[in-house]
């Protein structure tokens, strides 16, 4: 690989044109073997150094696609990795891109969790157990999910959520046992369900 021209662009990336080849972009963050300042017009790279530059280019391409998804909505790392994989990006480039996006706070599982919980609340009344399971299914680790759920219930009482879920069930002809099972299926603890039912009976 022979470097024909380089250009520093405003996003902190370098546009590289190679002799007898296309132009592409890299971000110095993605370079593992060489320093960005060595990539200058006339420089020649081969072997592992050439591959390092090529890998940086693919990682930047994965980053651009990831940013496109993030511009539409908050994403979890797990979910975004899956979407990029379906677009044909190799795992190593996906991981590099997502590491960078996390380092600059464009990607955050904590922020995704808070956003997901707030959207979920619009159409579902669910307890801590169910919400934790749903976040786990979206690749959110237990500690991150726990903090997000604590914050969520600090603003949205779990007791009120349970009362709301119970109120919706009362419109149907369910037995007391069925109501208990359905509320527990929605993630409310047996203790909380019994407390809310006792409160209603009173």
Give the Cα separation of 78 and 68 in Å (integer). 16
What does pTM read for this prediction?
0.86
CA 148, CA 132: separation in Å to the nearest integer? 9
Q: For the residues 107-123, what does the mean pLDDT come to?
A: 95
pLDDT in tens, 12-43: 899 999 998 889 999 999 999 999 999 999 99
Contact 3, 18 (CB under 8 A): yes
pLDDT band at 202 (very low <50, low <70, confident <90, very high): low
In the chain, what are the domain boundaries?
A: 3-103, 109-201
Contacts of 47 (CB under 8 A, 6+ apart): none
Closest CA to 1 of 36, 52, 37: 52
Q: How many C-alpha atoms does 68 have within 13 Å on its Cβ side? A: 9
Write down the pLDDT at residue 187. 95
Q: Span 3-103: which CATH code?
A: 1.10.10.10
């Amino acid at each position: 690989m022979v470097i024909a021209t380089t250009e520093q662009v405003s996003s902190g990336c370098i546009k590289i044109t190679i002799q007898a080849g296309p132009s592409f972009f890299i971000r110095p963050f993605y370079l593992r073997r060489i320093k960005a300042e060595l990539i200058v017009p006339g420089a020649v790279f081969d072997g592992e150094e050439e591959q390092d530059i090529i890998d940086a280019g693919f990682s930047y391409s994965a980053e651009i696609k990831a940013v496109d998804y993030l511009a539409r909505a908050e994403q979890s790392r797990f979910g975004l990795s899956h979407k990029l994989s379906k677009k044909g990006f190799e795992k190593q480039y996906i991981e590099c891109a997502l590491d960078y996006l996390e380092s600059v706070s464009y990607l955050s599982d904590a922020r995704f969790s808070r956003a997901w919980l707030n959207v979920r609340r619009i159409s579902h009344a669910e307890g801590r157990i169910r919400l934790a399971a749903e976040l786990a299914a979206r690749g959110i680790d237990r500690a991150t999910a726990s903090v997000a759920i604590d914050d969520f219930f600090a603003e949205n009482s779990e007791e009120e959520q349970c009362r709301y879920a119970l109120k919706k069930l009362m419109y149907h002809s369910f037995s007391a046992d069925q109501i208990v099972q359905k509320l527990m299926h929605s993630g409310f603890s047996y203790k909380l369900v019994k407390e809310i039912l006792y409160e209603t009976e009173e």
